[in-house]
Structure formats: C-alpha cells, structure tokens
Amino acid sequence: MDYDRTTVKFNVLFLGDNVKLQDIFTRLEKLKIYIKEKSDTYGFKLFHNDEEIDGSESESLFNEYIEYIRSNIVQEDGEYFIESAGPYATSDWPDLEQGEMEYQKSFKLEDYAEYATIYVTIRDFYASELEKLQNQNIGVSCEMVDTDGDWYEFEI
C-alpha cells in the first residue's frame, strides 16, 4: 500500500430496529455505486486475490459479495446474520482505532456476522474530519484513520 493513502472501513449493519432485508441490499447496492462513481475523486482502491483494483472497476466483486450475502443471510428472532463467512472469512482485520491500515482483501465477513464489511484505501488528503467522505445518506457507518494516526467514525 502506498504511504500517501489511508484506509476506510465501511460497515453495512444487518441488525437494528426495523431493519428490513431489502434495506440491507439497498445499502450495499448504493455503496457499490458510490465507490464506482466517486473513485476518480477519492482514489478508491480495493484488494482481492493479491491484486489492487480501482474502485471504478469493482462492480463485479461487489456483485459477487452481495450475491453471497443474499444466498447466505439468515433471519432468527427478527435479526439477520450470516452463518458462515465462506470465501470472505479472514483473520486479516486491521484495527483502525489502533492505527493499523494494512489488509489483504477488501470484502470481509465473519461467521455469524451481523454486518458486511468492506475496506478500501483512499488518497490521504481525505483522511481528515474536515475533508472526509461527505454524507450521501446511504446509511453506512464508516471508520477511518487520519494522517496523524487518529481514528474517527462517520456515516455516508
């Protein structure tokens, strides 16, 4: 990873009051479009199978991820979760709050996951609370490490 970049973590929650299955997939689809359309501005990069992929070319990876979730999401007691992370399982979870930014694959799930997680890198210019990704009312929570190693949360 280049040193002029930082890492953003996007989480699409499956849990919560009145979360509907369609809401989950709408947020994932909106995030896919956002990353594709804003890639030139923010310089989104994703990682898959040891390859760096430009955000503008990530649609097929997103589609596979969304389809895996669609095929494996389970509802129990009114709550949604993924029983098995399958090909999206990894022990490679950077702790952004501790300043860790390195990771090998962008699309992640855990067994019994209560949210979908996507890591991307962006140009470090946008790694400040003033210049951060602007809220687009997608309903996705985000975490980021700024250039000083400070962690913060926001939504898009």
Interacting residues of 64 by C-beta distance below 8 A, sequence separation 6+: none
**Summary mean pLDDT of the chain:** 88
Asked whether residue 7 carries a pLDDT value surpassing 80, the answer given is yes
Q: What is the pLDDT of residues 20-72, one digit of tens each?
A: 899 999 999 999 999 999 999 889 999 998 899 999 999 999 999 999 999 99
Name which of 127, 85, 30, 66 is nearest 93 in CA terms: 85
Asked whether residue 94 carries a pLDDT value surpassing 60, the answer given is yes
**What was the pLDDT predicted at 145?**
81
Cα distances (Å, whole numbers) of residue 131 to 88, 94, 123, 144? 31, 22, 11, 12
Identify the band that residue 146 occupies on the pLDDT scale cut at 50, 70 and 90. Answer: confident
Query: Identity (one letter) of the amino acid at 11?
Result: N
